[in-house]
Structure 1
Amino acid sequence: MKSNEEKQFSTETTSLLNLPSPHSTDRPVQLDHVLSSDNLENGDEYHGQRESKRIEDEKASFNKKFNSNGGLRRVVLLLVFACIAAVFIFALIHFKSGDQNNSGSPGNAFGKPQPFSLNHPNDLGITSVARPKETAPPERLFRRLESPDSDQRQPLPTSSWYQNLLLTTGEPNNLHRAYALPYMLDLVGPIPGLTLHKGFLVPTDRVIQLADNAWNGLTLGAAADIHEKTQKKLTHQYTVSSPTELGVTLHWDAMNMSSSIVRGMAYGTMIFEDFKTNGGEDGILFPTLASYIAFGKPPVVDGTSQLECDDKGSRTLVEKEVELHFGGSDFTWLVFFSQPVWVQCSNGKESNNAFLQVVDVADELSKEPLVVRAALANSCTNGRVHNYCKSQLMDSEQQKGYGDLLRRYADTIPGENTSMKYQVLEGESEGTLVLDWDARSVSSGKSKDSSSTDLGMIHFAMPHHMDALDSSSLPDDKYCLPTIMGPACAVLGTEMTLTETIPDVDFRAKRPIPASFLSDIGDTLVKDMKYELEAFFQRGAGDTYFSGKMLSKLGRIALVAEEVTELCSKRMSREYDVACKNTTIPTKQAMDTTIDKLESSVEIWINGSAETPFIYDDAWGGLVSCGCYFNGKTCDNEVPNCPTLSDQGLDFGNGFYNDQHFHYGYHIYAAAIVAHFRPEWGKKHWEEVLLLVRSIANPSRDDTAFPLYRHKDWYQGSSWASGVPRPPYLNGKNQESSSEAIAAYESVALFGKVMQKIWTSDRNPSKAAIAKEVKQVGQLMTATELRSVNKYWHVQQSDPIEKRIYPVEYTGSVVGIVWQSMIQFGTWFGTAEYLPYGIQLLPLTPISEERDELEWMNEMYYPFSTSCASTFQCTESGWSVLQLAVLATVGYREEASIRAIALPEESYTNAGGNGHSRTNTLWYIATRPIVDEPIELVASDVRGAGEKRPAPVFELTDCHTPATCTDAVLDNMPDSYSCREHITFLIKMERKPQWDACTSVGVEYEESCGLCNPTEMVENTPKNATQAPTIDNSICPPCTDEECDSDLNRCPLFERSFVCTAGANVFGCSPIPWYFEDECDTCCEMTRCQNLKDIEAQKVTHDGTAFDKPICPPCPKEVCYGEINQCPIHTAPYLCLGGDNVGGCASHPWDVKKGVTCSECCEVKTNC
């Protein structure tokens, strides 16, 4: 309710806003309302009439004076005309400027985005350092991007979805692949060209793997006459052009062919400039489709006749299409030609290649390029291959309709100049995102822009697209294919237009700190405002990640102090008056000191004086940390000796563009806070902070120093954190901490918002306009990240089957790492169950409320809280801070506040929690919305100061649990060794303290040794007991010892693992038996192989006089961070260091004694 004083102020303000100009003949609108007798209170009529009469008298007097004084009248008129002219000229200039530079800005119609700055980093004091050739972009690959008029090349993508294709230095291999969705693409088929693969999902409770059989791929490329007896080995090397936000174009110059690949492509497309090419020493090359496996039946031409594949070179005329079916895969492909062609085919025996080759065009006078397109029409044609058939989403009628759909839209192809366009209107809650496929018609040559009619194009949309698309984009029926990110469904249109909800960004929550929390927050501020960054961070030494977290931590403390001060300086209510009297309010001196510390520590990182300065990498085009070889006091190296350019393990891979949005987001956030408190500082360091912004969020090609939106995948909505690792990851790109990506773009938006206000107050409209663009680009990047994170990282097991993204086998309520071909419940830095939850929840800022939907919070609270409560490490390392944030979100603010105050100091200083402060944690807890019906608490969820583990003990006594870990339990025999012997081994040989050793053994041998597990809670949460399915062992009997020791034993550890020992899928792995003979002739179950290896290892290490060296000892640091290590730590941590399989990864130790496959190995551990 408004007070009388507020009502009076409101009425007076409204009246003033509705008054006409002094020269208007219109009566005041508000006064007209007042003079209505029906609305007057007693006495108001007289005062209203008197005021009206006063205004009329003043107006008459003014008109009389004005008309009687001609000189005055002329001067006034001249001034009026001058003002009008000035406004017109200003508007004209602004319009022209906007037309040239601002037409693509978020506030205007779709067009060319405005650059944030055109200043080169060198002009801002940033030194360029030459990158080692080994980690620089491959020169030959990018020669098409070199400008003949300049030594400079355009900045290159470093985190794009197709990045692995940009890292080949010679002949490509299977690491150089891209995940276009629904296809996997690589360039290593039987002939040079583009190979399309269709994967299948292998789900478990913790990992979903997108697997594929390389033999099933179809290659669009070129080859010599397939009937020649000897075939020369052709190079598969290629070059690239037109790297965009959505795709890239690949060129095979020797074959005079090219292919533009884009996300969501329904077809593979190859453009041949001529139907045959003189390959020099390679002879005449022809457009060819090739497969490693034979046709299952003769190819069908134009839906009517069959193509005979013989050795005579018989030729057949094809008007439009050929249908290919392969027996081994049971795949049916449709191949389309842009003009009538003569073809021949060759079909080897089952183990040999099959070819379809264009030998001539029907019109000999045609000068048009030949366009060949291929699409997988059915991956389960006859229901014979279980791995593919079990995931089919279309019934037989839909499958037929899908083939017709592919035929109908085969004429429209994506072009080289795909792009992303956007529009965000000031003050609006929605923005528009357009993915433009640069479509053109093959038959007419018309593009989308030049065609008067809609070209019609089929494309695949991800689940989050389907939520935002209009129903007019959908075909008549729903044609969907399974992918690692859920079902991808066919949509129509040359563009994909998405509506995004634009989040508001602010330093404060949507509601103020409640009065009841002020006293506790005031008490924590007294200590937290004295927080000092590490001395080396204050000098700008160290890594950019933790330094950024510390800066943001101090900045958040200052913001909370400001809010407390403001709340207690206003007379909000009696409740606040009472609370503020009992609250320690920060003094002005304390505030100034805190901001002084923040300002100097932020500035040193961006003004060029840091001991670990930022440098500019001309090779890729980006701002990177030089890196610091820290000797305990300072850095041993100086520019230009920058180790991050060659050591991809240093500074979290910053020099290889890994996690840069995480790192720089924290620094930008801290800079925005300094500018918020000290506007002059913001103006002075505007360009320097923009360097960090441009490096991760550059929207304009006019800014030639940085690539577009470095980490952002606009099609997927989320970002890819990994950069340019050497060698690239087989599983493609990945991102772990989705919440830090959201926070990074929140930081960009906040810096723009703060600076827009500052430049507007400074009457600098041009810079205010740029700041507004920074804000709105940041908001759009935040919005899309939020949508995709909620879809692909936040898992709700309670969702019905039709709404689920991931298979039911996956039991986690969160995804720890999203890869392009793997979904992983885990993290890069540990296996504890609370870690995948925690890494998706930091930092705690206002945008977290948009990120963490209550439904997901309610579901993930139980597993997160139970896991965190089960070990002291969760509290000591700081991850429990986030568990308390969840506790407050699900409705228990008071309980969370009490526990946050009781947390030990280590929770806010160790690696998991050192980005948090007690002050900001309490602020976040206090400002959570009230939940009407909170879920039930976990009874064992205890956090507090007493929750610290005992001091390390390096001998076995009682595992810190004397009540349960008795001698009888220690003497239990889970295998050939007792619990006591297992624990003693870990203490003596791996130097684990008693707590860790007992925990490890208690978890591994829970039935026999579980009572010696010190982290086991007194009140256990029962696990869901599911009965293993009954499997007929006669289909795949247990593998023999010889099979276990052979190369067949390379499967991931499923609950039960089955390997194909002979047949089409030999060496193939499956979590279920190989049922179908066309897939596999014989198989065996490998589950016992791991147990055999464990026993063998124990026999080696169990020696009464001495412990032998383990078969695969822990990897040393130089191996962990070396190029040879690409092992997935959770599924295949054993790395081969020598022998035939050097660089190989296995789920079990390599048998180095035999030395047949590997002569030396090591284990990649979580602390590696």
Structure 2
Amino acid sequence: MLSSKMTFYIFILVLGFSFLQTQARALPSKPAPAAVLFPQVQSTVLPDPSPFFASNLLQAPLPTNSFFQNFVLNNGDAAEYFHPYSFRFSNSSLTLSYPTPIPSNASILQNFTADLTISTTQTQHQHQVVSSFSDLGVTLDIPSSNLRFFLVKGSPYLTCNVSVPTALSISTTHAITSLSPNTKQNKYTINLNNNQTWILYSSSKIGLTKTNPSLIKSDSFFGVIRVALSPGSDAEKVLDQFSSSYPVSGEALFTEAFGLEYNWEKQGNGDLLMLAHPLHLQLLSVEDRNVTVLDHFRYRSIDGDLVGVVGDSWVLKTQPIPITWHSINGIKDNASIPEITAALLTDVEAVTSEPISSITASYFYGKMIAKAARLALIAEEVGCDNVIPNITTFLKNAIEPWLSGTFGGNGFLYEAKWSGLVTKNGAVDKGADFGFGIYNDHHYHIGYFVYAIAVVAKLDQAWGLKFKTQACSLAEDFMNLNRQPSSNYPRLRNFDLYNLHSWAGGLTEFGDGRNQESSSEAVNAYYSAALMGLAYGDTNLTATGSLLAALEIQATQKWWHVHQGDNIYEDVFTSANKITGIVWSDKRDTGLWFAPQTSLEIRVGIQVLPISPITEVLFSNVSYVKELVEWTAPALTKEGVTDAWRGFDYSLEGIYNKQDALQKIKNLGGFDDGNSLTNLLWWIHSRG
């Protein structure tokens, strides 16, 4: 049964999400950003996007955490994983791999093997150019080869358009054991000595010939070719049936509260066959669209089995989540309020007496003001109103210099090359602020600022209105839904609308693709955006933030929280782990950027912080929480483990063992820099 508070907020979201986002992608020249409210800067550390994007795209905001980011960085020759294939461009060719998982107790890797490479017989070498991109796909051209590749997430086929008559080469690192055409020579079955069977379909006769054990050449051909791995003996009939309809792009529409709709633009004839990962299948609303799930048609993936779905429009629906300022179901025992209040008075004095300029890094500054904002909301919840003005004054003094560009030690600046915020320090040093200046961790850092701003705007409406434009522009850096080239920011900088969770890595090339470490800080970012919507009465922002938070939570529970027997990960990995460290698009890792895999308390803590009302939703599976706490417990006694990290483990224990956890928390000698004794006592006393 939902509480009245939960029902009220969900009612607001349902009312506020009755909008349909404009999905057209027009590409006129982009004027100089007119509404940018932060000082502008030319970064000295950002890469130049112009070699890899078509000239018309350079007039619009460019993605900085996309599923194809490796294709537009450095030499553009690092692989990206698209479900079910990995792709790599090099020397005017595209190589695809159906990667094999390599699991261990410490990681799951997907090895890239050059299963098939498509190129032309021409010798001119040229890198790929992005000619268009969408929420679910990217189109890349190799102009010197007359090749255009439509790479759409979740397509079981690779689709290539050959624009003028051209002779093609198809090579492999394996041996080709057989090459078998049909009578029309528009379908070829390619068997390799690694037991893979690939099928090539062409829009007209292509004339393939094996010229050596690892090379196939075609006659001069123009039109469309499609290549697919056959995942089993019964799969070929399915691939044959749907080979004539292919996606060229895909959009995700925000159409209703806690709902997302996929629409693919397709060409060719017939119905469209795509692949759904396990979270798609959990959320897919079959009755809302004419889609058919082919449960027997499956490909393996690092995210769990991919299952065939027929239909060019999907509706995904997630359960509503409560977006509340205070504890979702209230503090359970009024007798605990004096204990919380005593800690609150001490913590408020400590926080507000700290010199604001003592912290300059954007991440730690954000955690500091979010910590203070938590104290204000807890004070409001326990009726200790006399401390709220002091906290509010502190927060105003701390936030305003970042919004006005007058903070001496750092500050947010706007750069137009990729279209977004960087920090003063990050504009000249790619390592500063954990890489914020090269678009790393934007939703983490800004999420903390958005949380604090939302709280002040709630407590002081006049201040909120005074800084509303700057505050909303700050949130827009990672929350923008607008596709128009006139936007100051790209569409949803961090959130992957196919994977249904965020990436954090920014403009850095990684061999394993995109990555995200702290799932809980991603949840915090979208939760904070939803709160900002509540503070300003912006129902669209609240609804969008709520949906993204809900999806991020379910993705975290699916891929960061490890459950033995759920068929997502292999047994050797699930038997040794209860939680991941870093989720990569092409890897699962138990190590962290700043700690080894053996630091279980840190691995848990980085997936919990910061503790707020939304933490209850993130860790709603009590039996899993108990397993996680018991798995971590031995690590807490090791030398070098700090109380700051122990606090997060004890907070989880409080979900099912309130009294023991409370005593452990009272004995802590220190807290994470974004946490406090007050916050932990509030958390424990609001548990069931």
Question: TM-score higher than 0.5 here?
Answer: yes
**Aligned match for 2:190, one of 324, 339, 348:** 324
Note the C-alpha offset of 1:194: 2.2
Matches within 5 A, 1:549-948: 549-565=367-383, 586=384, 588=386, 590-611=387-408, 612-627=410-425, 644-702=426-484, 704-725=487-508, 728-756=509-537, 771-797=538-564, 800=565, 803-810=566-573, 811-831=576-596, 832-852=599-619, 853-875=621-643, 878-890=644-656, 892-904=657-669, 907-908=670-671, 913-929=672-688
Deviation per residue, 1:323-362 (Å, 9 max, x gap) = 11122x2221100011234x1423324xxx41131325xx
**Aligned match for 1:419, one of 247, 251, 255:** 251
Amino acid at match of 1:457: L
Note the C-alpha offset of 1:493: 1.1
1:531 is the counterpart of 2:312: no
Note the C-alpha offset of 1:480: 1.5
Deviation per residue, 1:1009-1051 (Å, 9 max, x gap) = xxxxxxxxxxxxxxxxxxxxxxxxxxxxxxxxxxxxxxxxxxx
Name the CA distance, whole Å, in 1 between partners of 2:83 and 2:472: 34
Name the CA distance, whole Å, in 2 between partners of 1:477 and 1:662: 37
Note the C-alpha offset of 1:813: 0.3
The residue aligned with 2:85 is: 183
Name the CA distance, whole Å, in 2 between partners of 1:718 and 1:749: 16
Matches within 5 A, 1:397-416: 399-416=232-249
Whether contact under 8 Å (1:113, 1:700) holds in the other structure is no
Note the C-alpha offset of 1:477: 4.5
Name the CA distance, whole Å, in 1 between partners of 2:253 and 2:489: 18
**Other structure's SS at 1:868 match:** helix
Structure 1 residues 438 and 185 mapped into 2: Cα distance closer, same or farther (>3 Å)?
same
Structure 1 residues 806 and 156 mapped into 2: Cα distance closer, same or farther (>3 Å)?
same
Name the CA distance, whole Å, in 2 between partners of 1:374 and 1:485: 22
Name the CA distance, whole Å, in 2 between partners of 1:267 and 1:532: 56
Whether contact under 8 Å (2:37, 2:470) holds in the other structure is no
Amino acid at match of 1:656: I
Range with greater deviation from structure 2 (822-831 or 495-504): 495-504
Amino acid at match of 1:254: S
Name the CA distance, whole Å, in 2 between partners of 1:121 and 1:862: 52
Note the C-alpha offset of 1:479: 1.5
Note the C-alpha offset of 1:219: 2.1
Whether contact under 8 Å (1:122, 1:128) holds in the other structure is no
Q: What is the number of residues matched between the two proteins?
A: 659
Which structure has more RCO (C-alpha within 8 Å, separation ≥ 6)? 2
**Aligned match for 2:120, one of 216, 222, 234:** 222
Matches within 5 A, 1:510-529: 510-513=328-331, 514-529=333-348
Name the CA distance, whole Å, in 2 between partners of 1:605 and 1:182: 43
**Aligned match for 2:302, one of 484, 490, 502:** 484
The residue aligned with 1:157 is: 63
Note the C-alpha offset of 1:372: 0.6
Deviation per residue, 1:180-223 (Å, 9 max, x gap) = 011011113xx733221011111111111111333xx2123322
Structure 1 residues 867 and 413 mapped into 2: Cα distance closer, same or farther (>3 Å)?
same
Whether contact under 8 Å (1:711, 1:721) holds in the other structure is yes
The residue aligned with 1:130 is: 42
Name the CA distance, whole Å, in 2 between partners of 1:256 and 1:200: 31
1:437 is the counterpart of 2:269: no
Structure 1 residues 894 and 294 mapped into 2: Cα distance closer, same or farther (>3 Å)?
closer
TM-score (norm 1): 0.55
**Other structure's SS at 1:554 match:** helix
Amino acid at match of 1:405: V
Structure 1 residues 271 and 144 mapped into 2: Cα distance closer, same or farther (>3 Å)?
farther
Whether contact under 8 Å (1:796, 1:859) holds in the other structure is no
Deviation per residue, 1:783-808 (Å, 9 max, x gap) = 110111110001122xx3xx221000
Name the CA distance, whole Å, in 2 between partners of 1:210 and 1:346: 29
Whether contact under 8 Å (1:752, 1:773) holds in the other structure is yes
Whether contact under 8 Å (2:169, 2:215) holds in the other structure is no
Note the C-alpha offset of 1:490: 1.4
**Other structure's SS at 1:723 match:** coil
Amino acid at match of 2:277: M
Amino acid at match of 2:505: S
Name the CA distance, whole Å, in 1 between partners of 2:134 and 2:545: 20
Name the CA distance, whole Å, in 2 between partners of 1:405 and 1:716: 24
**Other structure's SS at 2:135 match:** coil
Note the C-alpha offset of 1:458: 1.0
Structure 1 residues 822 and 534 mapped into 2: Cα distance closer, same or farther (>3 Å)?
farther
Name the CA distance, whole Å, in 1 between partners of 2:281 and 2:301: 15
**Other structure's SS at 1:479 match:** strand
Question: Which has the greater radius of gyration?
Answer: 1
Note the C-alpha offset of 1:541: 5.7
The residue aligned with 1:982 is: none
Deviation per residue, 1:1085-1138 (Å, 9 max, x gap) = xxxxxxxxxxxxxxxxxxxxxxxxxxxxxxxxxxxxxxxxxxxxxxxxxxxxxx
Note the C-alpha offset of 1:234: 2.8
Note the C-alpha offset of 1:739: 0.4
The residue aligned with 2:181 is: 301
Amino acid at match of 2:129: T
Name the CA distance, whole Å, in 2 between partners of 1:221 and 1:340: 18
The residue aligned with 2:271 is: 456
Name the CA distance, whole Å, in 1 between partners of 2:131 and 2:358: 39
The residue aligned with 1:334 is: 199
Structure 1 residues 700 and 540 mapped into 2: Cα distance closer, same or farther (>3 Å)?
farther
Name the CA distance, whole Å, in 2 between partners of 1:105 and 1:163: 33
The residue aligned with 1:507 is: 325
Structure with higher strand content = 2
Whether contact under 8 Å (1:292, 1:354) holds in the other structure is no
Name the CA distance, whole Å, in 1 between partners of 2:37 and 2:295: 58
Whether contact under 8 Å (1:826, 1:833) holds in the other structure is no
Whether contact under 8 Å (1:129, 1:617) holds in the other structure is yes
Whether contact under 8 Å (1:834, 1:874) holds in the other structure is no
Deviation per residue, 1:896-931 (Å, 9 max, x gap) = 222222211xx22xxxx11001111100111112xx
Matches within 5 A, 1:1007-1156: none
TM-score (norm 2): 0.91
Whether contact under 8 Å (2:526, 2:546) holds in the other structure is yes
In structure 2, stretches of 5+ residues that fail to align are 1-14
Structure 1 residues 901 and 470 mapped into 2: Cα distance closer, same or farther (>3 Å)?
same
Structure 1 residues 347 and 839 mapped into 2: Cα distance closer, same or farther (>3 Å)?
same
Name the CA distance, whole Å, in 2 between partners of 1:493 and 1:111: 22
Structure 1 residues 540 and 275 mapped into 2: Cα distance closer, same or farther (>3 Å)?
farther
Whether contact under 8 Å (2:379, 2:385) holds in the other structure is no
Amino acid at match of 2:503: W
In structure 1, stretches of 5+ residues that fail to align are 1-103, 147-151, 225-232, 277-285, 305-316, 361-368, 379-398, 426-430, 444-454, 566-585, 628-643, 757-770, 930-1168
Amino acid at match of 1:900: I
Whether contact under 8 Å (2:38, 2:403) holds in the other structure is no
Amino acid at match of 1:467: Q
The residue aligned with 2:3 is: none
Note the C-alpha offset of 1:711: 0.5
Structure 1 residues 300 and 619 mapped into 2: Cα distance closer, same or farther (>3 Å)?
same
Whether contact under 8 Å (1:136, 1:620) holds in the other structure is no
Deviation per residue, 1:689-741 (Å, 9 max, x gap) = 1122110110011352110000001111111010002xx11111110000000
Identity of aligned residues (%): 26
Amino acid at match of 1:594: I
Structure 1 residues 346 and 804 mapped into 2: Cα distance closer, same or farther (>3 Å)?
closer
